[in-house]
């Protein structure tokens, strides 16, 4: 936990040094909160579209309400527990409450994340050259997009040739029979979860839902940004969404405290937005995300009949 804690403390300290907190307070007070209801509507649309995308990857083996609640349970776990246990948490919770195996669900989450990385790379590919006007930015985005495509190809080949993948795995692990025995069933379940990559219609549906997810995400960021910066442009929201999504992958405390705000302020500074206004916007958007996902996640956890402590102990074992 220490590296993440240090990074969050440093981020918060820098913000305190650079920003006038009284100006932040005034920006929060004077924001035009008429934009809040449509922003929240787009935020819930983001959660719904992502849940539909994940359910499609799971081949509709669970209901939409189950996917929606489990998705938010994962967000809640990331918000309140250390070690970024949200993704493992989703896989664990579904394996406890459905007939799906942990490794099968984990592979679907991996596919979802690869889609996300690809879309994020696409947004950066579009926005960064427009903002910075730098050749290296375009090249970096192209490299990121190429790596995502390579990842999809590798996973497709693994899923398409399951028997060949298993034979290759057995050959490499032959000197370690205990490892082979331990991992064989898990790898088979993992490959089963990659089935979405074998079907073009299903692949297209997943892409549609996740593209819609990011579109709704940009929309809710833009709506809320208009409450603080009336002349904000969609390009600003697109860039900040992509940069924040990338930035919060850095180690931090649960809920990305400090890191989220610092990245958001830095991104908006490129458009000439005052640091106090940018921080006010970051605090409100982060608070809304935290409150909504924790509440929905807590409802899902209660419906599953599990406590946060029980989940944390099991996830620590699973992570190990």
| pLDDT tens track for 18-38 | 888 888 899 999 999 999 999
214: pLDDT strictly greater than 80: yes
Within a domain: 46? yes
Q: How close are the terminal C-alpha atoms of the chain, in Å? A: 15
Which helix (H) or strand (E) segment holds residue 261: the answer is helix 259-269
Q: Are residues 105 and 66 in contact, defined by beta-carbon separation less than 8 angstroms? A: no
Q: What is the mean pLDDT of the chain?
A: 85
How confident is the model at residue 141, as a pLDDT? 64
Q: Are residues 49 and 116 in contact, defined by beta-carbon separation less than 8 angstroms? A: no
Q: Could you give the CA distance from residue 222 to residue 232 in angstroms, rounded to a whole number?
A: 7
How confident is the model at residue 173, as a pLDDT? 84
Provide mean pLDDT across the span 92-114: 86
Q: Could you give the CA distance from residue 274 to residue 18 in angstroms, rounded to a whole number?
A: 11
189 or 173: which carries more pLDDT confidence? 173
Q: Are residues 92 and 14 in contact, defined by beta-carbon separation less than 8 angstroms? A: no
Give percent of the chain above pLDDT 90. 37
Provide mean pLDDT across the span 151-162: 77
Q: Could you give the CA distance from residue 1 to residue 251 in angstroms, rounded to a whole number?
A: 9
313: pLDDT strictly greater than 70: yes
Within a domain: 21? no
How confident is the model at residue 137, as a pLDDT? 62
Q: Are residues 104 and 193 in contact, defined by beta-carbon separation less than 8 angstroms? A: yes
Residue 35 DSSP class: G
pTM, to two decimals: 0.83
Cα-based distances in Å from 182 to 162, 178, 194:
18, 6, 20
* 84 closest CA partner among 94, 74, 92, 93: 74
Name the band, by pLDDT with cuts 50, 70 and 90, for residue 1: low
Name the band, by pLDDT with cuts 50, 70 and 90, for residue 318: low
Cβ neighbour number for residue 298 with a 10 Å cutoff: 16
Within a domain: 249? yes
Within a domain: 51? yes
Question: Which domain covers residue 236, as residue numbers?
Answer: 40-312
Within a domain: 187? yes
Residue 209 DSSP class: H
Tell me how many domains the chain contains: 1
Within a domain: 35? no
- For 109-147, write each residue's pLDDT tens digit: 888 888 888 888 888 877 877 777 666 666 766 776 677
> Phi and psi at residue 298, in whole multiples of 5°?
-65, -40
- For 182-206, write each residue's pLDDT tens digit: 777 777 777 776 777 777 788 889 8
Q: Which two tokens stand for residue 236?
A: 């600003």
Within a domain: 26? no
Give the SS3 label for residue 69. helix
- Number of H helices and number of E strands within the chain? 14, 0
Q: Are residues 132 and 91 in contact, defined by beta-carbon separation less than 8 angstroms? A: no
Give percent of the chain above pLDDT 70. 93
Alpha-helix runs per DSSP H in 133-176: 135-160, 162-172
Q: Are residues 274 and 251 in contact, defined by beta-carbon separation less than 8 angstroms? A: no
Within a domain: 200? yes
Phi-psi region of 84 (alpha: psi -120 to 50; beta: other; left: phi over 0): left
């Amino acid at each position: 936990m220490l590296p993440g804690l240090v990074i969050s403390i440093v981020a918060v300290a820098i913000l305190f040094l650079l920003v006038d907190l009284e100006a932040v307070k005034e920006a929060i007070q004077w924001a035009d909160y008429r934009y809040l209801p449509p922003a929240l509507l787009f935020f819930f649309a983001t959660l719904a579209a992502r849940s539909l995308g994940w359910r499609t990857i799971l081949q509709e083996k669970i209901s939409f309400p189950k996917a929606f609640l489990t998705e938010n349970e994962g967000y809640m776990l990331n918000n309140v527990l250390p070690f970024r246990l949200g993704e493992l948490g989703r896989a664990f919770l579904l394996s406890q409450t459905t007939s799906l195996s942990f490794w099968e669900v984990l592979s679907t989450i991996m596919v979802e994340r690869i889609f996300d990385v690809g879309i994020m790379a696409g947004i950066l590919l579009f926005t960064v050259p427009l903002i910075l006007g730098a050749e290296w930015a375009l090249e970096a985005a192209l490299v990121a997009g190429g790596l995502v495509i390579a990842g999809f190809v590798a996973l497709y080949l693994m899923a398409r040739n399951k028997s060949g993948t298993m034979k290759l795995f057995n050959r490499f692990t032959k000197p370690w029979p205990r490892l082979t025995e331990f991992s064989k069933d898990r790898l088979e379940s993992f490959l089963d979860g990659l089935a979405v990559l074998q079907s073009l219609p299903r692949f297209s549906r997943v892409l549609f839902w996740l593209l819609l997810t990011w579109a709704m995400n940009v929309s809710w960021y833009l709506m809320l940004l208009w409450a603080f910066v009336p002349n904000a442009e969609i390009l600003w929201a697109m860039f900040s969404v992509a940069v924040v999504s990338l930035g919060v992958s850095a180690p931090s405390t649960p809920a990305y405290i400090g890191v989220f705000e610092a990245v958001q302020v830095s991104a908006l500074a490129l458009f000439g937005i005052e640091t106090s206004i940018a921080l006010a916007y970051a605090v409100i958007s982060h608070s809304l995300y935290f409150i909504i996902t924790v509440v929905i996640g807590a409802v899902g956890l209660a419906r599953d009949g599990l406590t946060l402590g029980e989940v944390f102990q099991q996830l620590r074992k699973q992570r190990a």
